[in-house]
């Protein structure tokens, strides 16, 4: 079943923020807001849940640290222990200060790379994916708010005109 959305264009981010707050106060569901640059506080004004990417980053860092510790223990202590500079490798604990830079780098490596992969998967950004931008003006100087229509179209249209929309379109999706 096709749904109908109203697209309201704005040419100022402050006007957009005010409009988002008024539309949400009027109990309309905002599908998406397209902006040419990040607008501070827009996610909170839209009522979006906070991101959990920081939690996943911490967990990925813990995985990287674990891999680094297990890798260095196996390579430098168990598999092929070497006497480097008169310092024998009898145990991991004795040699841990020398391994700190490797542990740090592996933690950062795992956290960064796995976070990027998680972000792309969560955002459904695949290589060679077509852009889903509804209007090219939103990459230059306009802001677009898409609102799903669930009732009186004229009431929503009047609200959007009152909030300062420079153009309003009705689209079947």
Q: How far apart are CA 116 and CA 20, in angstroms?
A: 29
Q: Give the structural domain span for 102.
A: 53-123
State whether 110 and 79 are in the same domain.
Answer: yes
The pLDDT assigned to 64 comes to 97
**pLDDT on residue 66:** 97
Q: Do residues 20 and 57 both lie within one domain?
A: no
Same domain, 67 and 116: yes
Alpha carbon distance 36, 137 (integer Å): 8
For residues 166 and 111, state if they share a domain: no
Q: Which residues of the chain have pLDDT under 50?
A: 1
For residue 151, the model assigns a pLDDT of: 76
C-alpha 115: how far from its chain's center?
A: 10
What CATH number has the domain bearing residue 18?
A: 3.30.70.1510
The predicted pLDDT at position 1 comes to: 45
> Is 104 a member of any domain?
yes
Compute the distance between CA of residue 25 and CA of residue 100 in angstroms, rounded to an integer. Answer: 53
Q: In this structure, are 22 and 73 located in the same domain?
A: no
Our count of domains for the chain comes to: 2
Q: What is the pLDDT of residue 142?
A: 93
Please report the pLDDT score of residue 150 as a whole number. Answer: 80
What region, left, alpha or beta, does residue 128 occupy, with left being phi > 0 and alpha being psi -120 to 50 degrees?
A: left
The sheet with strand 143-148 has its strands ordered as 30-34, 143-148, 4-10, 167-172
Of 78, 58, 67, nearest to 103 (Cα)? 67
Biggest alpha carbon distance in the chain?
Answer: 84
pTM recorded for the entire structure: 0.70
Q: Are 153 and 170 in contact (CB under 8 A)?
A: yes
Strand 167-172 with 143-148, pairing = unpaired
pLDDT in tens, 54-96: 899 999 999 999 999 999 989 888 888 777 777 667 777 877 8
Residue at 32 is within a domain: yes
């Amino acid at each position: 079943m096709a749904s109908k959305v109203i697209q309201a264009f704005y040419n100022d981010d402050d006007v957009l923020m005010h409009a988002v707050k008024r539309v949400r106060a009027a109990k309309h569901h905002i599908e998406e807001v397209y902006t040419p640059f990040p607008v501070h506080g827009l996610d909170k004004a839209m009522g979006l849940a906070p991101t959990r990417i920081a939690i996943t980053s911490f967990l990925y860092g813990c995985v990287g640290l674990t891999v680094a510790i297990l890798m260095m223990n196996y390579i430098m202590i168990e598999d092929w222990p070497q006497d480097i500079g008169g310092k024998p490798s009898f145990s991991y604990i004795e040699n841990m200060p020398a391994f700190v830079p490797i542990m740090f780098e592996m933690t950062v490596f795992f956290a960064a790379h796995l976070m990027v992969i998680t972000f792309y998967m969560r955002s459904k950004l695949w290589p060679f994916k077509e852009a889903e931008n509804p209007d090219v003006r939103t990459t230059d100087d306009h802001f677009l708010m898409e609102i799903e229509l669930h009732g009186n179209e004229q009431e929503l249209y009047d609200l959007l005109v009152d909030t300062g929309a420079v153009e309003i379109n009705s689209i079947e999706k």
